[in-house]
């Protein structure tokens, strides 16, 4: 169950076998059924979660009850309502499972303790946060500056696994498009590829 996490860490930083064992001691495993919540709006996000198997989505609901997807988390991705986690404030996000999922969870107390006891993990998370900022900036540019078709095609090019695994109505929500628009774009592009 820790193979995916340890592999992810090793791809970013050099870590010893002893440090790997230490890292594992800070986490607990949680299994989620499809559509089961990991976090609900209004709750305090008590853990930072690493997806070892499955697929989650993070979203908020607008005043009309419409779902707006913030991110998807596949195997090898981290997910939380980070503001809620770090500041221990009520969450504005919901996180639920699109598929049966297993996550490795670390509490804020264990997270801070791990960073102090295993300094290489501080570097690992710094690299993740830098990458996350770059990704969020790019997503904002795409969201505000691209046409519907360009948004979809960029996503398909950058993350083909998402296009394969995530239902198109959820892709539409993530891109801020109507499901009919995504269906039309998919149909047009499948015809162009034949």
Angle at 38 between CA 35 and CA 41, to 5 degrees: 100
Tens-digit pLDDT profile for residues 30-88: 999 999 999 999 999 999 999 999 999 999 999 998 899 999 999 999 999 999 999 99
List the one residue out of 15, 189, 30 whose CA is nearest residue 114.
Answer: 15
Token pair recorded at residue 126: 């710094």
Cα torsion 9, 10, 12, 13 to 10°: value is 100
pTM for the whole thing? 0.90
> With 50 as the cut, is the pLDDT of residue 3 above it?
yes
- Return all residues near 136 (Cβ < 8 A) that are at least 6 apart: none
> Is CATH 2.60.120.10 correct for 1-118?
yes
List the one residue out of 94, 91, 84 whose CA is nearest residue 60.
Answer: 94
Strand partners, 37: 96
What is the C-alpha to C-alpha distance for residues 61 and 119, in angstroms, rounded to an integer? 38
């Amino acid at each position: 169950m820790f193979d995916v996490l340890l592999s992810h860490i090793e791809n970013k930083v050099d870590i010893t076998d002893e440090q790997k064992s230490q890292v594992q001691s800070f986490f607990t495993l949680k299994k989620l059924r499809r559509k089961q919540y990991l976090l609900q709006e209004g709750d305090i996000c008590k853990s930072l979660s690493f997806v070892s198997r499955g697929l989650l989505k993070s979203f908020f609901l607008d005043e009309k009850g419409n779902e707006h997807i913030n991110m998807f988390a596949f195997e090898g991705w981290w997910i939380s309502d980070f503001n809620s986690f770090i500041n221990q404030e009520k969450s504005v996000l919901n996180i639920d499972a699109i598929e049966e999922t297993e996550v490795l969870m670390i509490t804020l107390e264990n997270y801070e303790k791990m960073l102090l006891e295993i300094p290489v993990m501080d570097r690992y998370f710094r690299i993740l946060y830098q990458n996350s900022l770059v990704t969020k900036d790019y997503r904002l540019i795409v969201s505000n500056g691209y046409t519907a078709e360009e948004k979809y095609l960029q996503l398909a090019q950058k993350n083909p696994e998402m296009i394969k695994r995530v239902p198109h109505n959820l892709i539409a929500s993530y891109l801020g498009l109507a499901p009919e628009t995504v269906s039309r774009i998919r149909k047009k592009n499948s015809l162009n590829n034949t």
